[in-house]
Amino acid sequence: MDRVRVLCRVRPTTAEEQTRGERVVAIQGAQRLRLQNAAEYVGEHEASWAFDAAYDTDASQAQVYESIQPITQDVLRGFHATVFAYGQTGAGKTHSMFGPPDCSLDGPDAGVVPRLLKDLFAGLTAGDEVRVSCLELYDDLRDLLNEEHRPLKLRENRKDGSVVVDGAVDAVVKDVPATLALLERALVRRVVASHEMNADSSRSHFVASFRVTRPSINASAIMRLVDLAGSERVAKTKATGGTLNEAKRINSSLSALGNVIAALTSSTATHVPYRDSKLTRLLQSSLGGNAKTALLVCVSASSLHAEETVSTLRFGVRAKRVRNAAKVNVDVDDDLLAARLELAALRAERDDAV
Ligand code: ADP
Ligand code: MG
């Protein structure tokens, strides 16, 4: 069984956090976070959380990447792999996954995604193919590689039960610069599209999938990189009959994600509610299924965000208990199968003749 690996990163304190709040999150050793004055926010027994790695405010993009890099080797060997970033808006998810706003995906500030792609392409051999698709999920699933930006449907592949996105652009990419250019366009479109819909891009999930087909080892794998919507409870404003109703609610697909993880780690649950949201359907194989998965939880160190931080850390600790069962995905190519059968028949003939 493969554990979901969980890494935690504390982002640098902002000027506002410094003037209005105080630092309440401390890192202990390389793996543990401790909350000071914890009694104000949680029970005393819950003042510290352990992860596979914990990164303080001064950690570099390169250091964070070190924990995630093994994913490229997994994908090159034919394992599906997923990296996803979780945390409240402003906690550093997009920074960690891609880099700061407007940074070059090719420079020293580049995040996990461009670094993974560099290592992935460096490990390919002649004949290998990479296809990329970039999706955005609000209530609807949309294609960020398609100008039309029309809603897409999810479908189940009858052969292996995997979930397929119907009609999404699946572009063949030849090298790192071409892939980064495509990703940059998708990221810009994510922001533009949210403005057009009068929405906030921090409320959307970004899912980039890279299908790596390797005839040289007769295997293919999908690397899925996910920048989740902000996990905070948001004040949702609804105009109803001329009056404004404020309602506190959490992004419904994130609560579905929480429910899936709760069911996967419960000793009594008999049903995992993957079908409750498009997000959990998309991530079905990444959680409790056939994939190697790493989760990066991002938090602020400030007292101003302590409640959201606690809820993020709880999510991370729970996800650490999810067990996956990843296997190499062998391509059963019809031609190859026919050739193997023919060879077996010839061998049998020869053995008969002897
Ligand atoms: P999120 O995607 O979780 O909403 P962002 O990644 O956009 O948050 O981060 C919010 C702001 O904080 C951005 O301006 C980002 O550049 C900055 N930031 C986040 N993490 C770091 C970090 N580790 N180092 C420096 N700046 C950071
Ligand atoms: Mg973001």
Question: CATH: 3.30.70.1060, 3.40.850.10, 1.10.3720.10, 3.20.10.10. Which one for 2-326?
Answer: 3.40.850.10
pTM of the model: 0.89
| Ligand 2 centroid from CA 159, angstroms | 35
From 202, 243, 184, 249, select the one nearest 90 (Cα to Cα).
Answer: 202
Q: Is the CB of 94 under 6 A from ligand 1?
A: yes
Q: Is the CB of 90 under 6 A from ligand 1?
A: yes
pLDDT value of position 352: 73
Q: Give dist(CA 305, CA 46) in Å, integer.
A: 17
pLDDT value of position 277: 93
Where are the domains positioned within the chain? 2-326
| Ligand 1 centroid from CA 110, angstroms | 12
Rg, the chain, Cα only? 22
From 226, 243, 233, 214, select the one nearest 84 (Cα to Cα).
Answer: 226
pLDDT value of position 248: 54
- Could you list the mean pLDDT of each consecutive 10-residue stretch along the chain, which spans 354 residues? 94 94 93 86 82 97 96 95 96 95 85 97 96 92 86 84 87 96 91 73 91 93 95 60 47 90 90 93 90 96 93 94 90 70 79 70
Name the residue with tokens 């404003």: 237
User: Residues 114-117: contacts with CB within 8 Å, 24+ apart?
Assistant: 114/176, 114/180, 114/183, 115/61, 115/62, 115/65, 115/68, 115/69, 116/65, 116/68, 116/69, 116/71, 116/72, 116/83, 116/223, 116/225, 117/176, 117/179, 117/180, 117/210
Residue 197: other Cβ atoms inside 10 A: 16
Identify the nearest ligand to the CA of 93 by its number. 1
Report pLDDT digits (tens) over 71-115: 999 999 999 999 999 999 999 999 999 999 878 888 889 999 999
pLDDT value of position 238: 45
pLDDT value of position 246: 44
Identify the three-state secondary structure at position 209: strand
| Ligand 1 centroid from CA 73, angstroms | 28
Identify the three-state secondary structure at position 114: helix
Q: Is the CB of 91 under 6 A from ligand 1?
A: yes
pLDDT value of position 44: 67
Q: Is the CB of 100 under 6 A from ligand 1?
A: yes
pLDDT value of position 42: 78
Ligand 1 site-directed mutation target among 95, 97, 204, 225, most atoms within 8 Å of CB = 95
| Nearest residue by C-alpha to atom 17 in ligand 1 | 92
Residue 154 near residue 278, CB atoms below 8 Å: yes
Q: Residues 6 or more apart from 239 whose CB is under 8 A from it?
A: none
| Ligand 2 centroid from CA 188, angstroms | 12
Report pLDDT digits (tens) over 30-77: 999 999 887 777 776 788 999 999 999 999 999 999 999 999 999 999
pLDDT value of position 224: 96
Q: Is the CB of 14 under 6 A from ligand 1?
A: no
Q: Give dist(CA 45, CA 343) in Å, integer.
A: 65
Residue 122: other Cβ atoms inside 10 A: 10
Q: Is the CB of 12 under 6 A from ligand 1?
A: yes
- Annotated binding-site residue numbers for ATP: 87-94
DSSP lists the bridge partners of residue 197 as: none
| Reduced 3-state DSSP string for 163-191 | EEEECCCCEEECCHHHHHHHHHHHHHHHH
pLDDT value of position 1: 80
Q: State the amino acid at position 247 in one-letter form.
A: A
